[in-house]
Structure 1
């Protein structure tokens, strides 16, 4: 009896499938959502490719110019010392690939182009998940 019960449990467990847990904020926000909602919010995809019963869309956007100020050494008297890093301009953008199932649900999202921000988050996470 115990052996039969264990075999039934093993068969039931073998039939289960799991999905990968989201790895970042963008995946947490968008996996399982309608692709139409993503494209309505951020604009149309730059390209697409069919892959079996799914479609992979490439999306590019979030273009932004950010000025990063110069940093200086702080002297003991509170005054500004020598230049540590020059001021610079950064050009930010985000590019992701969305894997969308036949029912137009986002099943996967992979970041292709990204940059870290001053707060430690990636620009794509800030732009796509924070929206």
Structure 2
């Protein structure tokens, strides 16, 4: 029993020491995994907090604040005119919150989106802000 426990523990330690970057699941991960953390923070601002976790540092970052107005929606009326209003105009307040795990050589090993605004179609706000055109300019 002790031998099994020691074998499992040593295997877990060996796997924990791996620093490979896993497959990207969204535009933010595909853009930033394996990139220097300095580039990210220079482009988007400093982190809110950081916690040392062994050889890695876990950063909490929030930004991308934007106000977006969604126009009122109307049913289609006769002859292409506006019909009855089906949804009022509204204002959305957008922001993006991510957690970055950065290795001791200051390379982003993982980035996870914690807070985001999803759209009914197209990319989410974090994908658009951190994985889109603005992020590409930082390359």
For residues 118 and 61 of structure 1, the distance between their equivalents in structure 2, rounded to whole angstroms, comes to: 22
Cα drift, residue 84 of structure 1? 1.1
Q: Distance in 1 between matches of 2:64 and 2:120?
A: 17
- 1:56 alignment partner, one of 55, 58, 65: 58
Tell me the equivalent position of 1:40. Answer: 42
Does 2:102 match 1:121? Answer: no
Equivalent runs, 1:1-80 vs 2, <5 Å: 19-80=21-82
TM-superposition CA deviations, 1:100-125 (whole Å, max 9, x none): 01110000000011002465211001
**Which residue is 2:90 aligned to?**
88
Whether 1:100 aligns to 2:102 is yes
Deviations for 1:61-87, whole angstroms, at most 9, x for unmatched residues? 010000000000002421111111110
Could you say which residue in structure 2 is the equivalent of 1:14? none
Deviation at 1:19, TM superposition (A): 4.3
Normalised to the residue count of structure 2, the TM-score between the two structures is 0.78
Q: Over the residues paired in the alignment, what is the CA RMSD in angstroms?
A: 1.4
Summarize deviations over 1:13-54 as a string: whole Å, max 9, x none: xxxx76421001000000000000000000000001111110
Structure number with larger C-alpha Rg? 1
Counterpart-to-counterpart distance in 1, 2:78 and 2:26: 41
Aligned length: 115
Range that drifts further, 68-77 or 39-48: 68-77
